[in-house]
Structure 1
Amino acid sequence: MKRAVFVLFAAAAVAGPALADQALATAKNCMACHAVDKKLVGPSFKDISAKYAADSGAADKLAVKIIKGGSGVWGPVPMPANAQVSEAEAKKLAAWVMSQK
């Protein structure tokens, strides 16, 4: 029994940060236009990660786009500004997006 409980806690510790960031993405309405692995209104988080994989400054650039919005990179539909997202939250979200493979 102790081993099973340990395994559950270990699994939760590993999955915890990823779930927490997806929860933040949901709370900040990112999931209204994006999904982890498929295009909705905007590109999937996996597609974003793949596009910027070689760019060492991508997470910082994405954090700015999360807050200020953007247009023209993924097609004609603009991404609106997200003033309700703090700089710290935007950085956390951008790092999580870049971790999607």
Structure 2
Amino acid sequence: MKALLVIAAAAAVVSAPAFANADLAKAKGCLACHSVDKKIVGPAYKDVAHKYTAADTDKLTQKVLKGGSGSFGPVPMPPNAGKVTEAEAKQLVQWVLSLK
């Protein structure tokens, strides 16, 4: 029984990044400017997913943390350091890139 609980707990930890989705984006305020399928202030997440690959994960994680502009027009994305951790930013980027 104890082994079963350990396995269940390990499975929950391993699958945790799968929950880095719209719920995390909403909790962190990302959906105020972004949507999955349409441009709001910032680009649609599907447009980001089509422009970048998994090889860009680190670069995009830093953009989430530090902000940036020019990739999708002149409107800058403000920095989010302090609002999201680096691990959360990476989870969000991985989720966005999965939306292809």
> Which residue does the alignment assign to 2:62?
64
Q: Structure 2 regions of 5+ residues with no counterpart?
A: 1-16
TM-score scaled by structure 2?
Answer: 0.77
> Which residue does the alignment assign to 1:91?
90
> Which residue does the alignment assign to 1:79?
77
> Which residue does the alignment assign to 2:36?
36
Alignment root-mean-square deviation, CA = 1.8
How many residues end up aligned between the 2 structures?
84
SS at match of 1:57: helix
Distance 1:47 1:89 in 2: 21
* Deviations 1:50-98 (CA, angstroms, capped at 9, x unpaired): 0113xx4211111110000001111110000002110100110000000
Give 1:17 deviation, angstroms.
Answer: 2.6
TM-score scaled by structure 1?
Answer: 0.76
SS at match of 2:21: helix
Q: Structure 1 regions of 5+ residues with no counterpart?
A: 1-15
* Deviations 1:3-55 (CA, angstroms, capped at 9, x unpaired): xxxxxxxxxxxxx935x4211100111100000000110100000000113xx
Q: In percent, how many aligned pairs have the same letter?
A: 58
Query: Which one-letter code corresponds to 2:89 in the other structure?
Result: A
Distance 1:17 1:73 in 2: 27
> Which residue does the alignment assign to 1:17?
18
Query: Which one-letter code corresponds to 1:47 in the other structure?
Result: D
